[in-house]
Structure 1
Amino acid sequence: MQLIGEANRKWWLLGAVSCVLGLVLLDETVVGIALPSIQETFSLSSNTAHWIVNAYLLTLACFVAVGGKLGDLFGILRMFLLGLATFGIFSVVCGFAPSGEVLIIARAFQGLGSAVMFPLFMAMVTMTFPKEQHGMALAVTGSVGTIFLSLGPLVGGAFTEFLSWRWIFWINPFLVIVIAVVVSLTWRDVERPPGRRIDWTGLVLIASGMFCIVFALMEADDWGWGSPVIWLLLVCGLAMIAAFCRFELRQDAPLIEVDLFTNPVFSASNVNLFMAQYAKMPIFVFVALYAQTELKLSALTAGLLVMLTPIPQPFVAAYCGRLVGKTHPRKLAFIGHLLLLASLLWLYFTAPLNDTLLFAPGLLVAGVAFPFLFLPSRAAIMGSLPEYKHGQGGGIAMAAQMIGGTVGLSASSAAFALGGYEAVLGLAAVLVALAFVYALVAYRKV
Structure 2
Amino acid sequence: MSFPLVSRTQRLVLWIAILASFVSFLDSSVINVALPAISRELGGGLTTQQWVVDAYLITLGSLILVAGSLSDLLGRIVVLRAGLIGFGATSLMCALAPTGEVLILARALQGVAGALLVPSSLALITSTFEEAPRAKAIGQWTAGTTVAFIAGPLLGGVLVDSAGWRWVFGINVLPIAVTLYLLGVLRVRDVREEGVRIDYPGAVLCVLGLAGPVYGLIEHGNFGWRSPLILMPVVFGTLCLAGFLWRERTAQQPLLPLSLFSVRNFAVGNVATAFIYAALSIGGFIIVLFLQQVAGFPATFAALALLPVSIVNILLASWFGSLAGRFGPRWFMALGPALAGGGYLLMLASEMPVNYWAQLLPGILLFALGLSATVAPLTAAILGSISEQQAGIGSAVNNAVSRVAGLIGIALVGLVVGNKLDLDGFHRVVTVTAVLLILGGIVSALGIQNPRDRSAGRIQQEASSNSARRYWTFRPGRQKSGSS
Give distance in 1, aligned partners of 2:187 and 2:393.
22
User: What's the offset of the Cα at 1:415?
Assistant: 2.7
Change (3 A) 1:312 1:99: same
One-letter amino acid matched to 1:258: L
Q: State the partner residue of 2:297.
A: 298
Change (3 A) 1:292 1:207: closer
The answer on 1:440 being equivalent to 2:440 is: no
CA contact 1:10–1:186 (8 Å) conserved in 2: no
Give distance in 2, aligned partners of 1:224 and 1:122.
44
Q: State the partner residue of 2:433.
A: 428
Q: State the partner residue of 2:474.
A: none
Give distance in 2, aligned partners of 1:352 and 1:414.
22
Q: State the partner residue of 1:71.
A: 71
CA contact 1:71–1:79 (8 Å) conserved in 2: yes
Change (3 A) 1:18 1:29: same
TM-score normalized by structure 1?
A: 0.77
User: What's the offset of the Cα at 1:365?
Assistant: 1.7
Q: State the partner residue of 1:365.
A: 366
CA contact 1:90–1:110 (8 Å) conserved in 2: yes
User: What's the offset of the Cα at 1:33?
Assistant: 5.3
Aligned to 2:237, the other structure's residue is in SS state helix
Change (3 A) 1:306 1:52: closer
Give distance in 1, aligned partners of 2:3 and 2:434.
49
The answer on 1:140 being equivalent to 2:143 is: yes
Change (3 A) 1:144 1:430: same
Give distance in 1, aligned partners of 2:441 and 2:187.
39
Query: Residue by residue, what CA displacement relative to the aligned partner does 1:127-151 show, whole Å, maximum 9, x if unpaired?
Result: 8665987995686367334225423
Give distance in 1, aligned partners of 2:320 and 2:124.
20
Q: State the partner residue of 1:406.
A: 407
Aligned to 1:312, the other structure's residue is in SS state helix
Change (3 A) 1:330 1:82: farther
Q: State the partner residue of 1:199.
A: 199
Give distance in 1, aligned partners of 2:432 and 2:281.
12
One-letter amino acid matched to 1:408: G
Change (3 A) 1:226 1:428: farther
One-letter amino acid matched to 1:55: A
Give distance in 2, aligned partners of 1:232 and 1:31.
30
Give distance in 2, aligned partners of 1:386 and 1:188.
29
Change (3 A) 1:278 1:26: same
CA contact 1:59–1:109 (8 Å) conserved in 2: yes
TM-score normalized by structure 2?
A: 0.72
Query: Residue by residue, what CA displacement relative to the aligned partner does 1:209-264 show, whole Å, maximum 9, x if unpaired?
Result: 12213333343455455655434433332322222112221222223212222223
One-letter amino acid matched to 2:208: S
One-letter amino acid matched to 1:438: V
Q: Report the identity percentage.
A: 28
Which of 153, 156, 162 is 2:156 aligned to? 153
Query: Residue by residue, what CA displacement relative to the aligned partner does 1:16-62 show, whole Å, maximum 9, x if unpaired?
Result: 54544442233245456556777898x77668965555433332233
Change (3 A) 1:12 1:378: farther
Query: Residue by residue, what CA displacement relative to the aligned partner does 1:292-349 show, whole Å, maximum 9, x if unpaired?
Result: 688x56346555544443442332345456667666444543453232133233334x
Unpaired runs of 5+ residues, structure 2, are: 452-484
Q: How does 1:90-239 map to 2 (within 5 A)?
A: 90-95=90-95, 103-120=103-120, 140=143, 143-151=146-154, 153-154=156-157, 156-157=159-160, 161-162=162-163, 167-179=167-179, 194-224=194-224, 227=227, 229-239=229-239
Name the stretch that deviates more: 334-343 or 115-124.
115-124
Give distance in 1, aligned partners of 2:190 and 2:263.
26
One-letter amino acid matched to 2:378: S
CA contact 2:418–2:425 (8 Å) conserved in 1: yes
Give distance in 1, aligned partners of 2:138 and 2:265.
16
One-letter amino acid matched to 2:399: M
CA contact 1:87–1:113 (8 Å) conserved in 2: yes
Give distance in 2, aligned partners of 1:102 and 1:437.
42
User: What's the offset of the Cα at 1:363?
Assistant: 0.6
The answer on 1:255 being equivalent to 2:258 is: no
Give distance in 2, aligned partners of 1:388 and 1:186.
29
Give distance in 2, aligned partners of 1:39 and 1:429.
27
Change (3 A) 1:124 1:321: farther
Give distance in 2, aligned partners of 1:443 and 1:322.
18
Give distance in 2, aligned partners of 1:425 and 1:214.
21
Q: State the partner residue of 1:89.
A: 89
Change (3 A) 1:336 1:84: farther
User: What's the offset of the Cα at 1:152?
Assistant: 5.4
Change (3 A) 1:3 1:278: closer
Q: How does 1:372-391 map to 2 (within 5 A)?
A: 372-384=373-385
Give distance in 2, aligned partners of 1:236 and 1:35.
30
User: What's the offset of the Cα at 1:114?
Assistant: 0.5
User: What's the offset of the Cα at 1:432?
Assistant: 2.1
Query: Residue by residue, what CA displacement relative to the aligned partner does 1:263-291 show, whole Å, maximum 9, x if unpaired?
Result: 23333333344333322344333334555
Q: Give the aligned CA root-mean-square deviation in angstroms.
A: 4.4
CA contact 2:337–2:441 (8 Å) conserved in 1: yes
Give distance in 2, aligned partners of 1:341 and 1:40.
31
Unpaired runs of 5+ residues, structure 1, are: none
CA contact 2:280–2:433 (8 Å) conserved in 1: no
Equivalenced residues, count:
438
